[in-house]
Structure 1
Amino acid sequence: MKSFLDNDFLLQTDTAKHLFHDYSEELPIIDYHCHISPREIYEDKRFDSLGDVWFGGKQADGSYFGDHYKWRLMRSNGIPEELVTGRDDELERFKRFADALSLSIGNPMYHWCHLELKKYFGIDEPLTPVNAEKIWNKCNDMLGNDDSFTVRGLIKKSNVAYVGTTDDPVDSLEWHEKIAADESIDFLVRPSFRPDKAVNIHKEGFKEYIQELAGVVGKETLDSTQDVIDALIERVEYFAGRGCVASDHGLDYVPFRIVSMEECDKAFRKAMSGEAVSTEEAEGYQTALLIALGKAYHKHGIAMEIHYSCMRNKNERMFRLIGPDTGYDMIANNTCGENIANLLSELDKTEELPKTIIFSLNPADNQQIGTIIGGFQSSEVPGKIQHGPAWWFNDTKIGMEEQMKSLASLGILGNFIGMLTDSRSFLSYTRHDYFRRIMCNLIGGWVENGEYPNDEEALKRIVSGISYYNAKRYFNL
């Protein structure tokens, strides 16, 4: 019987162990999509307690920010919300979490949490309700007395070379500028352009956001779809000037409905006057923006990330109580593969298709994505159109294996740009370690089964590429 979380955790063959320890484990991390705060990186935040860095929760301004994977786990064990996102009794919160975690056999959270405790705090024993207070005290002592337990310290401990944050077009990027000017920061932090609020014409807050966007580009108002496009492209250029190499679109589904600009403007005027727009009207406007933005991304060498098939904030009572991004999102079942292909084809017509990474939250879409990306590759960069890594609810052992098997079956796994955290936690870089172990175990198994030759140079190139070098090349870092 193997010991829990030993040095060869998840590595089932000698080849897998060799590939991980010799070609993957020590390589830097490129975390090209996450939701951590550039301000906290610049200010080198210290954490008040393990609860602060481990859970997050309700902030001083009344908003909520933190690791909603952990929040969901606690809710699933019947823990009251005041102990999930509330911060009045942090020790009791941690004890109750330990109880929930001890029941979570088969959940990747069990592995992630223990990798975090081992990596950052040197704790090898499993967290249980019995030892929770002892572990809490040890971690808090280290956080309070070890100067390396700051935001920058945790990033350095994790061997992170690049952090791609997620930023709104109206953001001034002042913290990114300060980071870039600080010579003591020896890892890259770059903004990523996320224009969802301008694209989602059918959602609450659209009118107010367009007014804010107008102000940022020095206009009193934006009066047409073209005005919005021009303002967004101005902001793309602003982001590009500050090192942006990626954009991100979080879409319920990918629309594709080409209509005239007059029809787009009709929908725009309705939304700005507070009227509801139909699905067809929204899709026409959204498609116009996606095409224009895709061309701008291509011009500036910015990769376009498309995340779709998520039902967001579906628990209306909790959304009204504590807001978005708090653990109440779910997998959707959308049939928009043809729309994705049509969008890529429309951009490709004029040879303005940017590097594109496609993520579906629904694993049933894996093979469809695999065939779509194969239809739009080019000599611009190997793997120009990528099947994004197993994302969110799919970044389990099974989910990662299935995504990589699908990509390998239908494309070139050796050009895959690898893992990201998509996280709001500075401890979550251990998910790269988790992914790399799973990837090396999968490839090692194929070698030992005689499905791929034991070719040392080829295997090194594949494993080290997926771990680090492919993403470095893809994002021109």
Structure 2
Amino acid sequence: MAYFLHDDFLLQSKHAVRLYHEYVKELPIIDYHSHLPPDGIASDGKFENLTRIWLAGDHYKWRALRVLGTEEQYITGTATDREKFRKWAEAVPYTLRNPLYHWTHMELKNPFGITELLGPGNADRIFDTASAQLQTSAFSPRGLLTHFGVEMVGTTDDPVDDLRHHQAIAGSGFGTKVLPTFRPDKVFQLSKGDDYRRYIDQLQASSGVAIVDLDTLLDALWNRLYYFHSHGCRIADHGLNSLPREVDTSLSLDEVFKLVLAGDDALAAEHEEAFTFLVLSELCKLYHDKGWVQQFHLGPLRNTNSRKLRELGADTGYDSIGDFQQAQSMQHFFNTLEEEGRLAKTVVYNLNPADNAVFAAMMGNFQAEGTKGKMQFGSGWWFLDQLDGMTQQLNTLSNIGLISCFVGMLTDSRSFLSYSRHEYFRRLLCNLFAEDMNKGLLPDDIDWTGKVIQDICYHNAKQYFNL
């Protein structure tokens, strides 16, 4: 059977081949949003086997295995790592036309050099071959980041994190910049009861600020934001259903917050959105003042299966695309900050493809003099970081905004093998431009088109994030 991942995979014309191989293939990677573990990069420990680096924590693979009826013991359960890998190998031939089929074989080819289709017949051999390579320094976390040409990684970090792993990396002489990202999602979860109060205790301890009311909560957050800034952080990120609305409340939010601190949660859910608007908008003003970039990941419907949530916990592959209303709350939130002249550079990611045009159009309303592409309609993410989803995002951005100003792809992943997503994106992007050139929709100017694609894949992000 012919191996389909040849050097010109996805490149369907001579123009596409030239654009990819001559202009973007060797560009470094700026991975400005990921979930890579900073402790793993700091310790640079070796992965025990292929399952540990490849299957553990991978919700995409878990969901595919569940569709096939695989027993949970082979997904998140007690089966051995080899047994779990065998089950994945059995599943792979059935993932045709799912992006997992491409990703699986791209990640086996690079970095492991394995150029055969994974299936039950070669599962043990591939497991042993890759696992042996993982015991070498070239396949440690730092070795892999170096191999993939990663210039910068933005991790995702809670405000209570002490950032000691980032400090260790920064002082080690490692060539890749590993910078923290401020992700304060938990502070908005007013209705989480005792979990919320425990989090506030952590925030209090890490900031050294006694949190007794709304003002001291903001003081504690500002303390942590300044701490993150001193450790190289220049990006904030937020995972929300939608941007919060400014809701009138019958009781002051300070009083609601005090009641929650005292253990009274009766009004928490009712006032959570107004509380989020207030706290988030105050944080966003400070992001602007410190010259940060703010990111918003909008649209997921999380933990949809209550029984599985009880059995396996949160973030185990039972999330979905939500159909939340986005436009009016987004406009009001950005406009509130713009009115004060404190709207920071912003990247907004959409999870529902039905809202692509809404997001792309909204970004055009709040651009700024002297800043190229201040407001960014971010790359397709989660359910949409595949060929069709990325193509839709790129086409919508091209039609409603300026794709030439786009800051490009990111991994948004917990896996050190996910850098194939940048290659996937770059091949798709080159083919997209080449198709228009071949159709006569763009001039036959390979050098200028190549420059624009280089900007999208690397230079725009480098400038936008001040790297």
- TM-score range with shorter-chain normalisation? over 0.9
The reply to whether residue 265 of structure 1 matches residue 254 of structure 2 is yes
Residues 138 and 278 from structure 1, CA distance in 2 versus in 1: closer, same or farther, beyond 3 angstroms?
same
Q: Does 1:121 align with 2:139?
A: no
Moved more, 461-470 or 204-213: 204-213
Q: Is the 8 A contact 1:20 1:440 kept in 2?
A: yes
- TM-score when normalising by structure 1: 0.94
Aligned to 1:231, which of 220, 230, 237? 220
Equivalences for 1:53-452 in 2 at 5 Å? 53-56=53-56, 66-86=57-77, 88-144=79-135, 146-183=136-173, 185-204=174-193, 205-220=195-210, 222-257=211-246, 259=248, 263-272=252-261, 273-277=263-267, 280-452=270-442
When the two chains are superposed, the root-mean-square deviation of aligned CA atoms in Å is 1.7
Q: CA deviation at 1:280?
A: 4.8
Distance 1:232 1:278, change over 3 A: closer
Kindly state the Cα deviation for residue 226 of structure 1 after the two structures are TM-superposed.
2.1
**Separation in 2 of the partners of 1:93 and 1:466?**
38
Structure 1's unaligned 5+ residue stretches are 57-65
State the 1:288 CA deviation.
Answer: 0.6
The Cα of 1:212 is off from its aligned counterpart by 1.6
Match of 1:31, as an amino acid?
D
**Cα pair 2:190 2:269 within 8 Å, conserved:** no
**Which has the higher mean CA deviation after the structures are superposed, 272-281 or 190-199?**
272-281
For residues 154-185 of structure 1, the C-alpha deviation after alignment (integer angstroms, 9 at most, x for no partner) is 111111111000000000001111111111x0
- Judge which range, 252-261 or 383-392, deviates more: 252-261
How big is the shift at 1:312?
A: 1.1
Q: Which moved more, 1:251-260 or 1:118-127?
A: 251-260
> What's the offset of the Cα at 1:339?
0.5
Note closer, same or farther for the CA distance 1:456–1:349 as it changes in structure 2 (3 Å cut): same
Shift of 1:262: 6.3
Moved over 4 A (4+): 258-262
| Pair 89,288 (structure 1): closer, same or farther in 2 beyond 3 Å | same
| Most deviating of 278-287 and 309-318 | 278-287
CA distance in 1 between partners of 2:92 and 2:243 (Å)? 36
Identity, in percent, stands at 41
Amino acid in the other structure paired with 2:408: G
The 2-side partners of 1:9 and 1:468 are apart by 21
Q: Cα–Cα, structure 1 residues 177 and 422, in superposed 2: closer, same or farther, change >3 Å?
A: same
How many residue pairs align between the two structures?
Answer: 465
Q: Does the 8 A contact of 2:15 with 2:446 survive in 1?
A: no
Q: Distance in 2 between matches of 1:299 and 1:114?
A: 45
Q: Which moved more, 1:76-85 or 1:387-396?
A: 76-85
SS in structure 1 of the partner of residue 7 of structure 2 = coil
Residue ranges of structure 2 left out of the alignment (5+ in a row): none
Partner amino acid, structure 2, of 1:377: Q
Q: Classify 1:437/1:261 alpha carbon distance in 2 versus 1 (closer, same or farther; 3 Å).
A: farther
CA shift digits 1:413-451 (9 cap, x unpaired): 011111111111111111110111111111111111111
CA positional deviation for 1:261: 11
Q: Deviations over 1:93-142 (max 9, x none)?
A: 11211121110111111101100000011111111111111211211222
**1:73–1:101 Cα contact (<8 Å) kept:** no
**Contact 2:260 / 2:268 at 8 angstroms: preserved in 1?**
no
Tell me, in whole angstroms, the C-alpha distance in 1 between the residues paired with 2:2 and 2:389: 23
- CA deviations 1:38-75 (Å, max 9, x no partner) are 1110110201111111112xxxxxxxxx2221111111
SS of the residue 1:148 aligns to: helix
**Mapped partners of 1:264, 1:229: distance in 2:** 13
- Aligned-pair CA distance for 1:259: 4.6
For 1:126, the aligned partner's letter is: L
